[in-house]
A = this chain, B = another copy of it.
Amino acid sequence: MADELSSLRNLVERVRVGMLTIADPAGMLTCRPLQTLELDADARLWLFVSVGPPNVEEMSHAYRRVGVAYSDRNKQDYASFSGSGAIVRDEAKMRACWNAWVELWFPRGIEDPDLALLCVTVEQADYWEAPGSASRQFRRK
């Protein structure tokens, strides 16, 4: 498990921008690019998200099932993460994660009232290192 997680972390840190998919209220699967902060030792992905006009509870519902995909087409490496997301407003963590890349996505900075953290508890992940190859798998015990 530690091995799979470390390969996945290597790809996430190289690619950084994940494509986050959620189901919208009509059941449509919609996706958008998001800057990834870290894949931590407990197999949780951390990303900054804009929570916009709906409140945190509504947003948490929208994020209860998420997929996050990473593509490095130069190397033909691909990874998929599936899990459950939660909106977290932890200002200390937000400050610790802030960097110049994130600022490109959220130019209003850490004071942006719409800014929050999305924490994805990864249930399963797959990692493909070549076209059509079998994936290496991470499964939460």
Contact = CB atoms under 8 A, between A and B. Distances in A.
A35 to B, nearest CB: 7
A17 B67 contact: no
Task: Tell me the dominant secondary structure on chain A's binding face.
Answer: strand
Given A33-B71, A35-B131, A72-B73, A82 B28 contact: yes
Q: Interface residue tally of chain A, by bracket? A: 35 or more
Given A28-B65, A29-B66, A74 B74 contact: yes
Interface string A67-96: 111111110101010100000000000000
Contact of A71 (B19, B65, B67, B126): B19
Interface in A1-55: 15-17, 19, 21-23, 27-33, 35
Rank and list the top 3 A-B pairs by shortest CB-CB distance, nearest first.
A29-B67, A31-B80, A105-B132
